[in-house]
Structure 1
């Protein structure tokens, strides 16, 4: 599967569909350790992204152009911390994705840039029960897969699997960043909602790379 701008569009549409499917789950995760609006905010944001994509007279020329559209839309429509965090992640990723097609190295660069944006904006590191705990292992897995000669889609699959494992790893963590940190010990025993939505986004990327029929409509 070629990871070109057509794939990127399907990734965005698949993400919107998956976030919509898991909206209530994300809201429940956020109710447990936050203010309960993460699913609603993310669904609103990606619904707006798809609407903007549908309204374009011409499709984006390169992968980076589409990622920039996602970034600016999320920043303007997603409330709470998620909007700036995801917006910065996509914006940083867009800057290294000014390409017609992503090879394995470019996939790694996109994921690295996304993580760098999240860390720069949120000032978080691993082990603090945030979306970094999903993104960081995803980047490490992608780097390893690419170094081993994996194809671009396989690099995304490795990243998605690591992100999903990262979500589960947040359960025993004590939150020390964000709203969840106010709960202290009560934050232990819950999955982080930001890590969970991150894993959904990365799974959508891998799924649309593996199946060209996914994301053709949302």
Structure 2
């Protein structure tokens, strides 16, 4: 096992991004099913295309610093993902990179601060609040749980695991909600009874992060 990982370096961040791409590919049909119930039925395809483009970019060259790496991910997503998810996920990674700065690794507090900046970017871009039935409903609890775990002295692997659990709980809590933002809001009451696809893919993002930190420790 070795010592617990105290920081996430660019190699571990790339591992996270690759794991996210793999699980998006694996769950692509499920994400599409969720989106066909309340959206345009393209979330799975859009995210898979975007993450394939990101990994292709990283295969050709991995930027040496955390900020350049995350900004590359963000810009690639903005340019390759259709629908609302491209700008939102793109903003997440762009803001993360801006907050991270020119470093070659992030400690737990640095990772949490950059994810918080990403969340703030999504809020500014999408104007979503808790209970609107969007990716915010998985992302906000995950970032809060990450902060709380780190404040309580948890290491990176434990803190990211807590964040993934909180994301999943937030995702599941979107099922009974009536959507107030985005494409699903056009359905009104009929949007209830379905998990939000953006909250679902956000949970996959945090689960991939938890695995990347657990397995490189």
Does structure 2 retain, via aligned residues, the 8 Å contact 1:89–1:115? Answer: yes
Higher mean alpha-carbon deviation, 103-112 vs 37-46, is at 103-112
- 8 A contact 1:146–1:155 mirrored in 2: yes
Offset at 1:195?
0.4
Give the equivalent residue in structure 2 for 1:52.
57
Q: Tell me the equivalent position of 2:140.
A: 136
The answer to whether residue 105 in structure 2 is matched with residue 106 in structure 1 is no
- Contact 1:133-1:195 within 8 A present in 2 as well: yes
Q: Deviations over 1:10-35 (max 9, x none)?
A: 11111110100000000000000001
| Match of residue 213 from structure 2 | 209
Query: Could you report, residue by residue, the CA deviation over 1:151-196 in whole angstroms, capped at 9, with x for unpaired residues?
Result: 1222211111100111000001110101100111100010000000
Q: Distance in 1 between matches of 2:216 and 2:111?
A: 18
Q: Output the CA distance in 2 between the equivalents of 1:48 and 1:140.
A: 30
Structure 2's unaligned 5+ residue stretches are none
Quote the offset at 1:212 in angstroms: 2.9
SS state at 1:3 partner: strand
Aligned residues: 211
Q: What's the counterpart of residue 196 of structure 2?
A: 192
Q: Which runs of 5+ in 1 are unaligned?
A: 214-218
Whether 1:174 aligns to 2:206 is no
Moved over 3 A (4+): none
CA distance in 2, matches of 1:184, 1:167: 19
Q: 38, 49, 59: which one pairs with 2:43?
A: 38
Give me the TM-score of the superposition, normalised by structure 1.
0.94
**Alignment partner, residue 68 of structure 1:** 71
The Cα offsets for residues 127-170 of structure 1, whole Å up to 9 and x where unpaired, read as 00000000110111011101101112222111111001110000
Q: Does the CA contact (< 8 Å) of 1:63 and 1:101 recur in 2? A: yes
Question: SS state of the match for residue 195, structure 2?
Answer: coil
